[in-house]
Amino acid sequence: MSSATGLPSDCDLSPSAGDERPPLSQIYSAFESLLRAGWRAIEVATQPAPSGGALPIRAYVNAEPVGAVLIGGIHGREPAGALALARYVPRLVERGHKLGLLVMPLLNPWGYLHHIRYGPSGASVSDSDHLLGRAPEPACPEAAAITNFVMDGVRIRPGAAVLDLHEDPVYEAPDYQFEGSGSYIYVTGADALAHPASRRVRDCLERSRLPLVLEGVTRFGERLSDGIIVDTADGSIDELLARRVGCSPVITVENLLHAPDSPPLPQRVEVYLDVLEAFFGAPGEEFPCAPPSS
């Protein structure tokens, strides 16, 4: 145990991922400020730490019903989302004054530490196919716990907006070719594409240092249309939140990585900080969630 944090000592190591990502302890500690602001932390699941002990998978909630959900760190080679959310904590506190927020910043700490896409059992930690009628059982213990939590452990308002920050490490699949650099998005949910938050995120990326890639085909055979894939059925937690919880828009952001540090991680984090601001909207803009149901 690390005496300062109560976390396994692995959390103080600098992962050798080739992108200069910080130790896990830095990410965990960034979210401690939320607790001081009155937020609640929930340990949704754990993963085994290499040196023994457990790596916690934590969710943070300020108020229910939740009107917006922020997700990061599902895949271990895609650290920019978790790091952007950690930097965004002071803004989360401010945003939380007007809105119920659920933040799940690092759903796969084991993958982050090992620089591996999936969890220790080799499956996606938030795979939702068992709740979407496509698989008899959860893909792994984390998937069982995480999906159970969003369905039953927290009250998410139908029409809540979701932002899930991924990246697309093209280099991890030898036969996957995707020319060009930049970003693309998935948009899922009822009328999600026309939603102001979707438009703002799209416009933000268009102007960013990782501009939208307008055409291409992902490794999962999805074809981009103007930089967007609409209503994909990929078995992700995003699909679950759209179809079973009624969230909309559910926006999943990707940026193409041709090596762990290409583009450089700090640049990706900066872009995702801008995406977070765009998602919520500037002062004066209405936050795009459904009005409270009576």
> Using CB under 5 A as the criterion, which residues of the chain lie in contact with Zn ion when the complex forms?
75, 78, 166
The residue type of 84 is A
User: 221 CB contacts (<8 Å, ≥6 apart)?
Assistant: none
Nearer to Zn ion (CB atom), residue 166 or residue 268: 166
Burial 180-198 (b: 16+ CB within 10 A, else e): ebbbbbbbbbeebeebebb
Q: Nearer to Zn ion by C-beta: 220 or 286?
A: 220
- Least spacing, CB of residue 166 vs Zn ion, in Å: 3
Of 62 and 183, nearer to Zn ion (C-beta) is: 183
* Residue 28 Cβ vs Zn ion, minimum distance, rounded to whole Å: 21
- Nearer Cβ to Zn ion, position 62 or 126? 126
Rg from Cα positions in the chain: 18
Minimum gap (Å) between residue 243 Cβ and Zn ion: 19
Q: What's the Cα-to-Cα distance from 12 to each of 17, 103, 163, 246, rounded to whole Å?
A: 15, 23, 28, 39
Name which of 62 and 252 has its Cβ closer to Zn ion: 252
Least Å from the CB of residue 236 to Zn ion: 9
CB of residue 124 to Zn ion, shortest distance in Å:
9
List the structure tokens of 110: 């084991």
